[in-house]
Amino acid sequence: MIVGAGAMGCLFGARLAQAGYELMLVDVWREHIDAINSAGLKIETEQGEQTVKINAGTADAIDFRPDLVIVFTKTLHTAAALDSVCHLFDDRTCLLTLQNGLGNVDTAAEFIPIERVMHGVTNYPSDLQGPGRVSSKGSGYVKIYGADGQLRRENQLIAEAFSKAGFNCVLDPDVERAIWEKVAFNAALNSLTAVTGMTVGEVGASASGPLLAQRIVAETGLVARSKNIAMDEDAVWQSVGKAFAEHADHKPSMLQDVIHRRKTEIGAINGAIAELALESGIEVPVTETLYHLVRMIEQKLEH
Ligand code: NAD
């Protein structure tokens, strides 16, 4: 079962269904569910458009016990989404979160014992084009591991399923570090584009953008190290530089959320870094300021 059938949920759902896995997409968006059930899920890739037959529904329409729940809501909706399906869980149900941000395991562990929670990170790109329609162009990786640091048979089965579905998937005992590195990247680029309305390339070409981005990456590295995570700041900074040059027109999801007047994932990204920094007695002024600025924008857009 995939809970949160947006851009990523549909990408993973489509590929797993094409590889022969039986699964259901769960969402709250009625029009999207109806489009998928009536005309199939349309997925556009470099190879053209394909239509995938897959079942979709709201949580109350489900009457089976899932072996695996993959959570792909935005982080601010995780608790509500899991609350709506947790009555279906039994003592074998496993959960995987590949969402961005920090704190996803803590939320999942409120619904399922941590021994059956897996976490990870992916950089496959995907965009929702409209009801029943996604576009995913480009490749990426998926890194997963047990959230308690243990490798179990279930982790291996999931990695095998992802590989069979065509994802570059590895079991990575150091996945926590990969998660922090993606958080550092997102904390820099998502927040700066959301606040300025600039694309990634415009931030990179501005006088102050690269300086602020570098400070956020460095601040995130400090917090990661205080939590014994050996985040590779240079590697993150190189990825930021590559994004400035190669994805200049890209509007990260946080900027798109602001444009569409939606709440963002800032709480799980800059907000979570600032909270952990406070616990460790570290100052992260740029990360924290960007967090508050995005929150102010969200509040303004609510009215
Ligand atoms: P999205 O907004 O496209 O999809 C989220 C879906 O969750 C929506 O269809 C929404 O209707 C649904 N939802 C909201 N509340 C729900 C609830 N209570 N129950 C069930 N469904 C609910 O988001 P996305 O781009 O697919 O991102 C999902 C996660 O993956 C995020 O954490 C994001 O940061 C991360 N991510 C995204 C990408 C990308 O390229 N899109 C890449 C890597 C990671």
226's CB contacts (< 8 A; 6+ apart) are 276, 277, 280, 282
Q: Residue range 143-164: average pLDDT?
A: 96
Atom 43 (ligand 1) nearest CA: 123
- Other Cβ atoms less than 10 A from the Cβ of 150: the count is 11
As a whole number of angstroms, the distance between CA 214 and CA 184 comes to 10
Distance 3 CA to ligand 1 centre (A): 9
Q: Residue range 156-183: average pLDDT?
A: 97
Topology of the domain covering 2-173 = Rossmann fold (3.40.50)
CATH 3.40.50.720 occupies which residues in the chain?
A: 2-173
Token pair 């009801």 in the structure block, residue: 131
104 lines ligand 1 (CB under 6 A): no
Q: What is the mean pLDDT of the chain?
A: 97
Distance 256 CA to ligand 1 centre (A): 13
Given this model, what pLDDT does residue 75 score? 97
Looking from the CA of residue 186, the nearest atom of ligand 1 is 34
Residue to substitute in 74, 123, 255 for testing ligand 1 pocket (most ligand atoms within 8 angstroms of CB) = 74
128 lines ligand 1 (CB under 6 A): yes
User: How large a percentage of the chain has pLDDT more than 70?
Assistant: 100
pTM: 0.96
Given this model, what pLDDT does residue 193 score? 98
| DSSP state, residue 115 | G
Residue 105 three-state SS: helix
100 lines ligand 1 (CB under 6 A): yes
Residue 220 corresponds to which tokens in the numbers above? 């995130």
Q: Which CATH architecture group holds 176-301?
A: Orthogonal Bundle (1.10)
Given this model, what pLDDT does residue 56 score? 98
Does residue 303 surpass a pLDDT of 90?
Answer: no
Does residue 160 surpass a pLDDT of 90?
Answer: yes
Per DSSP, which regions of 84-136 are E strands? 94-97, 117-122, 127-130, 133-135
CATH 1.10.1040.10 occupies which residues in the chain?
A: 176-301
Residue to substitute in 12, 73, 82, 119 for testing ligand 1 pocket (most ligand atoms within 8 angstroms of CB) = 73
Distance 174 CA to ligand 1 centre (A): 24
- The distance from CA 148 to its chain's CA centroid, rounded to whole angstroms, is 20
User: Band of the pLDDT at 264, cuts 50, 70, 90?
Assistant: very high
pLDDT in tens, 231-257: 999 999 999 999 999 999 999 999 999
As a whole number of angstroms, the distance between CA 268 and CA 274 comes to 10
204's CB contacts (< 8 A; 6+ apart) are 210, 241, 243, 244, 245, 248
Given this model, what pLDDT does residue 2 score? 98
Distance 37 CA to ligand 1 centre (A): 19
35 lines ligand 1 (CB under 6 A): no
pLDDT in tens, 5-14: 999 999 999 9
User: Band of the pLDDT at 22, cuts 50, 70, 90?
Assistant: very high
Looking from the CA of residue 85, the nearest atom of ligand 1 is 19
Phi first, then psi, for residue 270 (nearest 5°) are -60, -35
